[in-house]
Amino acid sequence: MEELREKDPLFEKIPQSNADIFSFDNEDYPSDDEIFEQGESISWQEIKKACNFGQVDEINKALKTSIGAYRPVFNRMDLANKLSDYALSNQLYFPESGAFNVLSKKQIYRSFKFLGIHQLTIEQEFSQGHKTIHLEQFTEKEFCNTIAYKDYYIYDTNKKLLFAIDWDNFFFLICADRKTIETLVENMEFEGFYCDEHTRGNWELTPEEIKAGLHRAQSDTPDPSRQIKRNGKDFLEADNYRKLKLLRYDREDPQTERFYFAEMSTLQASLLFPEELKLLGLKIAGFDEQENFFDEKELPHFHNISDFNHYFLQNPNYRLQDCELEMEQGIKLESHDDGEVTISFPLDSNLKEPLILSIFKKYKLNLNIKQFIEEKSGFYVRIDSDGNIESYSRDFDKYL
């Protein structure tokens, strides 16, 4: 920001941010082709021993601290510096977060071949697109190249084996029956640990560490989805309706329109729907104030969207991680990290136009932007602090 202010006085108008800036530009980082041809994997066990880490959870804390994934109260700079120093002195490169890296793609290719599985589906994050391939028609390198950054799920037609990315983390999940996983671990040299029904998404932090960190973070900026009660009636705080930063419109299929909004909470979207709209299906995952995981099986049955809204307004300490609401008339609302919302409508829905218009009005967006994203179907459109179009791209990574 200091450099920008020197170049253009326009940037003087932007207030100073109380934030740490993380840059991931590294001209020395090898290309995918270089990694494929010359890269060698280093076991996490070797890293753990060389850095004198106590357990594997300390490796994950070091990695996530290094990219700014934690709130400051959870950062472990001691671990991150130790890992960074060892990597630099031994010419090692960190893997990418939130994506299958090249060496892992090789293992995945060999796993399906080893098990004699050839018909595969490759699916994007939020199911925004998928493709089916026949493995025998791909070399190992062609397979690595066909798995893009936002391809989060790789599974066979019979759904015997699934490889899945864990959001914003450096590991991925292998899902199958125990015997299949044990066979792959033994023959494909996968390194990890077995999960059960008690394994949390934030497994590297103990409940005690989380509770202590949250206590220290009480003075942090309020979460955008925080609820309050006023005069016996439930509201969302007006000042928590942040500027939408990223929009996207596309056609999931010829009969379905889909809108994506970044910086919108689940309730900020669900409260806009007619109260009587019936709920046909619900998938949900989140944590309560004691950091106990919960999902839809632990919640009461919601007959309509009003039931859903009322429950979470009355339970403001619940933090929603992933949510999928299926409503009558073929309408679906999906959210991730309670800050990314996707709403899908059938092409002939009479609710689409008034609801999307209400979102644009709520967030003080020019209706020309709605027309723009519909004309630029499939593009991510970035919105600046004044509510104007800043840039657009088909590539989500360019936004990041």
- Give residue-wise pLDDT tens across range 12-27: 777 666 566 666 677 7
All structural domains of the chain with their residue ranges: 20-94+202-216, 102-188, 238-399
Instruction: Please say if the pLDDT value at position 241 is more than 60.
Output: no
Q: How far apart are CA 84 and CA 11, in angstroms?
A: 33
Q: What is the mean pLDDT of the chain?
A: 85
In tens, the pLDDT along 44-55 reads 999 999 999 988
CB 381 within 8 A of CB 369: yes
In tens, the pLDDT along 143-170 reads 999 998 888 999 999 999 999 998 778 8
Q: How far apart are CA 323 and CA 342, in angstroms?
A: 10
Q: How many CB atoms lie within 10 A of CB 63?
A: 21
In tens, the pLDDT along 261-311 reads 988 889 989 999 998 899 999 999 888 777 788 889 889 999 999 999 999
Instruction: Please say if the pLDDT value at position 250 is more than 90.
Output: yes
- Which residue do the tokens 């490759």 mark? 122
Q: How confident is the model at residue 224 (pLDDT cuts 50, 70, 90)?
A: very low
What is the model's pLDDT at position 136? 92
Instruction: Please say if the pLDDT value at position 228 is more than 80.
Output: no
Average pLDDT over residues 244-252: 88
Q: How far apart are CA 356 and CA 363, in angstroms?
A: 11
What is the model's pLDDT at position 16? 65
pTM exceeding 0.85: no
Could you please report the per-residue DSSP string of 168-183? Answer: TSS-EEEES-HHHHHH
Q: How far apart are CA 383 and CA 261, in angstroms?
A: 11
Mark residue 240 as left, alpha or beta (left: phi above 0; alpha: psi -120 to 50; beta: remaining).
Answer: alpha
